[in-house]
Structure 1
Amino acid sequence: MVASILASLNAIGMLNFYGYSFFSYFGFIIAAIFILCYVINQRGYHLLAKSIVLLIFNFAVINISSTQGEGSGSVLLYFPLMSLYFLLLEWKELRWIFFWCLVSVIGFLLLELSDYQILKFGDFEKPEPKLVFLFNLCLTLLGQFIVMFVFIKVTGELESNMQTKTDELRRTLHHLVDEKEKAEKAAQSRSLFLSSMSHEMRTPLHSILGYTNLILEEDVSPEQREILSLIEFSSRNLLVLINDILEFNKLEAGKISIDHLPFDFPLLLQKIHSSLKLQADEKNLEFHLELSEAIPRQLKGDPSKLTQILFNLLSNAIKFTEKGVISFKIEVKKRWESFICLEFSIADTGIGIPKEQHDLIFEQFTQADASISRKFGGTGLGLSITKKILDLFQSQIHLESEPGKGSKFTFQLNFPVVDTETNLWEEVETKEVILPNIQKPILVVDDNEMNLRLVSQFFKKWKFPFLVAKSGESAYEIAKAEDLSLILMDLQMPGWDGFYTTQKIKETKPEVPVLALTADVNEDALQKVKDSGFLDIIYKPFQPKEFQNILLQYLTK
């Protein structure tokens, strides 16, 4: 706009110097073109607007030089014009700077070759040089004043806008901080709620499953055994749902870490297959395990996470298959000197999944069809949890499925090889455990009467001597007075909790092993157990055999 004003003033001056002619009126045309450039620039065509401006200035230099004749200083006029190229065009538009410099050189050569007769609108008498100089000087000063005024105005507006934006940003930042604190409190409340609910729900389940297992080991009628088996099955399904929700909460909170432990790979796979084969047999399904003999026995990894992945996928395969075959296959995909890549595939002949639902089923709380949840049950978290755990291993799960033709899930995992010499393996024979003759009693500490009675029943059956305490204070007094072989300590108790009680007992009897026996599976509780002097942790509800095996590790030392 400043250029348009200056061009208009220049046209008025030319009217005064040269009279009414096309040359004089041409300044108004230039002013209109500058307004057009402004509109084009506002529309976003910045380079085109700059190019038109530079074309006008080139034209003006050639025209002025042609009108004034040789010696009018076209070279001197081109120097500031070349500086304008660098001001209007950015460095990233360097090729356009070279282009306009080339235009200037060509324009100057054309002037020289034409003896300053190119683009000349006519022969005009030269006015007094001093008068023209003073007019151009005043016009330049006026232009500088207008530019300075516009610059000051724009700067003030920018500072005002910046202050406004800064205030808005500060308010937004405070709002985000408040929202972040609220979200953190909500997440903490959710975690505490889930931890508390898990403890409250797992405690009665512990009693239900424990007493059911005790009765199942007795001589009962077939009808009673069937009813008890249904109770156990339903209870374990409820436990799976609780575990899924808790596991998902841990994954969402980023509280899951990967262990790197040596483990017997074939033995682990055999256990998984054996534990799920009963479910497959109940539905008259064939359940095949195919393990490549090229897989080493000892690998290094996270057996618990691997078990969780495979249990989720295999349980789903069994759940959604009414008849046919479940195929569980592990083969070597690639082998390095100390690493091995294994491909796991779980295929079934179940209901299948439509292609458009393949991505959706890995979302949380989602199943391919709402009717599936009503028919087969479940939270819809199993595959979501599986995918999130595989993400921790930097692996992806792939699905091939068609409705009515079954599904096939595949994924790959890398494992460091511990024993590179032993490649072939045989099924490990299970031997009957001979219970040792325990002389010193085991102290069981729990404020829940049902839990105490349940553990007592197992110890009576195994002929382990034991004592019970219903509070931390009484446990401490018993530990001081008795020679104990082991202490099973509940964590959440009124008064002295399990952590404080253990700390007090360790002050007087540091040699007595203390194991945590809890229904709290929260990751924070697990870390606190590790840091508080406990040798191990047993989660309620437990499997009697696993419970016995853990106890024997410490009772036979």
Structure 2
Amino acid sequence: MTTMRAKQIRFIGYLSILSSFLAIVNAVAMLLFFGITFFSFFGFFVALLFYFTYLLNQKGYHFLAKNIILIIFNFAVLNISSTQGVGSGSILLYFPLLSLYFLLFEAVDWKWIAYWTIISASGYLVLEFSHYQILSFGKMPDVNPKFLFPFNLFLSLFGEFLIMLVFIRVNHDLEKSYITKAEELNDSLRELLLAKEKAEKAAHSRSLFLSSMSHEIRTPINSIIGFTSLLLDDNPKEEQKNFLSMIDFSSKNLLVIINDILDFNRMEAGKVEIELIPFPFNALISNIYHSMDLNAKEKNLTLQLELDNKLPHYLVGDPTRLTQILFNLLSNAIKFTNKGEILFKIQLLENLSDQVKIKFSIKDTGIGIPIDKQEIIFEHFTQVDSSISRKFGGTGLGLSIVKKLIDLFGTTISLTSKEGEGSEFTFSMSFPISQVIPKSNEHLTSQTDVELRKNKIVLVVDDNELNLKVAYQFVKKCGYECKLASNGKEALQFLETDPISLVLMDLQMPDWDGFVTTQKIREKEIYTPIVALTADVSFDISNRVKESGFVDIIFKPFQPQDLIEKIEQYTM
């Protein structure tokens, strides 16, 4: 309720009671002047009408109460003027009434102020043309006008005085209420600001903790994945190959869990945005299918792909986030299915001139989800029950991340499931059709002359000995010459003396970190391409890298092929 409206409601209440009192006083005076007549008792009726108006206002009928008050006051002016005859000065009685219009109606209600002003003016004109005879209560006893007029004038002035006192009191009450509310609001704002600061500090601390833990965990995983990949490429014995495959699977599974936690943290902080870039849709789906098909075959499951052949080959969207959604859903389907098959179906729903609408569905024959649990599985850190987590593993973040990403795409996901019979997740997305075919990096797939690679020197800078060895093996395996530096100062010395073609620079090192080292290199006017190599996946790391003189970034643990592609991109 606005301050002006509250003021009006309180003023109407006070005015009704005050006017009722004045009407009673006037009625008693008329009894004394005229004796027992209809005109004398009419004042008591008016007092009762004002009290009725007060009750209406209390019940919430404020607008009706305003208009009844104004009807009574206009009638009173006509009544007094007609009784006292020509020359009674009725026009003077209308002036305080005009002030009352402004008190009863807000400034925005000019139409009502104008309406009652017209009624008042009309009443005055009718009085003038009728020679003040429009209201008559029969023949009244003669009363000395020198006595009656001063009494009516006194009563009017006294009434106006009391009304102004009431108005001042209402203003005073509202000002006190306003001051109290303002103080309460300021206290609430201070509490909210403190709570906001605490929440921001907590969120910042959580981000720092997750980034730090991510770096500490991802660094050794990088060594594990790297050495495992090197050993698997070295034709191990069949039994050793099985053990190495298990190590590779376990380390990558751990990496998925870490990535889920970090992605969830980014989404909670609102740091994830949907990109719009051209990408080969069919090729993306094929890669996802073949990657997940290997996981399905390990559990003797059949992963069936049904891809609508009417779909365009190139679309515009965010292939990374779409891959993340589909990987999570397919991984869950494989994880929670012990026998049977998973159907991965992609169907064209609409094909317009410039965009398509595509329906994705992943259906499995797994354990299913009870009906009473289907509403909560999209909440973070939630699984159907604790035994599921113990039996199948996972953090309970996969579906929460899927839900948040799908929300970012502006669509919804639906679930159909029956316990013991399987589940089906379905969602639809619209994609603009790409008018430009993305160019492939031909140099990544072409056969580069071995001798040319031998003449290229790649410098790897990292304070972690295991990571140095992993990177060294991959660089040498590609046919490049490789040099190693364990800190920034050694790296600068190599660049000042040797013809280095590319630098792979770790960001977190003692003394000179990757940023300081790169700055020192650029200050020496050495412009060798430097690629950041880091396990730090915090929100702003990519932007900071771009602004600090690096040409690109590789996140640990990296896939061997990713590292090779980056080296070839900046050396060939």
TM-score (norm 1): 0.85
Structure 2 equivalent of residue 524 of structure 1:
540
Q: Relative to structure 2, which stretch is displaced further, 26-35 or 145-154?
A: 26-35
Residue 57 to residue 150, structure 1, CA distance change in 2 (3 Å): closer
2:412 paired with 1:412: no
Hey, what's the Cα distance between the residues in 1 that align with 2:53 and 2:171? 23
Aligned residue among 483, 507, 529 for 1:467? 483
Hey, what's the Cα distance between the residues in 2 that align with 1:409 and 1:126? 95
Q: Relative to structure 2, which stretch is displaced further, 10-19 or 223-232?
A: 223-232
For 1:156, give the aligned amino acid: H
For 2:256, give the aligned amino acid: V
Matches within 5 A, 1:290-309: 290-309=306-325
2:129 paired with 1:142: no
Contact 2:278 2:436 in 1 (8 A): no
Q: Deviations over 1:356-392 (max 9, x none)?
A: 5444322222234444333322222222222322333
Q: Relative to structure 2, which stretch is displaced further, 282-291 or 133-142?
A: 282-291
2:398 paired with 1:382: yes
Hey, what's the Cα distance between the residues in 1 that align with 2:117 and 2:522? 88
Deviation at 1:467, TM superposition (A): 1.3
CA RMSD of aligned residues (A): 3.7
Q: Relative to structure 2, which stretch is displaced further, 285-294 or 356-365?
A: 356-365
Matches within 5 A, 1:47-196: 47-54=63-70, 56-57=72-73, 68=83, 88=104, 120=137, 123-196=139-212
- Equivalenced residues, count: 544
Deviation at 1:117, TM superposition (A): 10
Local SS of the residue matching 2:553: strand
Structure 2 equivalent of residue 27 of structure 1:
43
Hey, what's the Cα distance between the residues in 2 that align with 1:253 and 1:408? 26
Residue 97 to residue 506, structure 1, CA distance change in 2 (3 Å): closer
Residue 167 to residue 452, structure 1, CA distance change in 2 (3 Å): same
Matches within 5 A, 1:271-286: 271-286=287-302
Local SS of the residue matching 2:511: coil
Aligned residue among 269, 277, 280 for 1:264? 280
Q: What runs of 5+ residues in structure 2 fail to find an aligned partner?
A: 1-16, 439-443
Deviation at 1:137, TM superposition (A): 0.5
Residue 373 to residue 131, structure 1, CA distance change in 2 (3 Å): farther
Aligned residue among 408, 412, 423 for 1:396? 412
Residue 371 to residue 434, structure 1, CA distance change in 2 (3 Å): farther
Local SS of the residue matching 2:359: strand
Contact 2:341 2:365 in 1 (8 A): yes
Q: Relative to structure 2, which stretch is displaced further, 215-224 or 133-142?
A: 215-224
Residue 405 to residue 248, structure 1, CA distance change in 2 (3 Å): closer
Aligned residue among 493, 509, 512 for 1:496? 512
Hey, what's the Cα distance between the residues in 1 that align with 2:167 and 2:81? 32
Local SS of the residue matching 2:257: helix
Hey, what's the Cα distance between the residues in 1 that align with 2:297 and 2:223? 27
For 1:317, give the aligned amino acid: A
Structure 2 equivalent of residue 240 of structure 1:
256
Q: Relative to structure 2, which stretch is displaced further, 533-542 or 211-220?
A: 211-220
Hey, what's the Cα distance between the residues in 2 that align with 1:236 and 1:31? 88
Q: Deviations over 1:398-455 (max 9, x none)?
A: 333333342132221313413489xxxxxxxx98977834223321111111211222
Residue 303 to residue 358, structure 1, CA distance change in 2 (3 Å): same
Deviation at 1:233, TM superposition (A): 1.9
Q: What runs of 5+ residues in structure 1 fail to find an aligned partner?
A: 422-429
TM-score (norm 2): 0.83
Local SS of the residue matching 1:366: coil
Deviation at 1:2, TM superposition (A): 1.9
2:570 paired with 1:536: no
Residue 69 to residue 240, structure 1, CA distance change in 2 (3 Å): same
For 2:426, give the aligned amino acid: F
Q: Deviations over 1:93-125 (max 9, x none)?
A: 97999799999999x99xx99x979894x6531
Local SS of the residue matching 1:395: coil
Structure 2 equivalent of residue 200 of structure 1:
216
Hey, what's the Cα distance between the residues in 1 that align with 2:501 and 2:322? 34
Residue 93 to residue 486, structure 1, CA distance change in 2 (3 Å): same
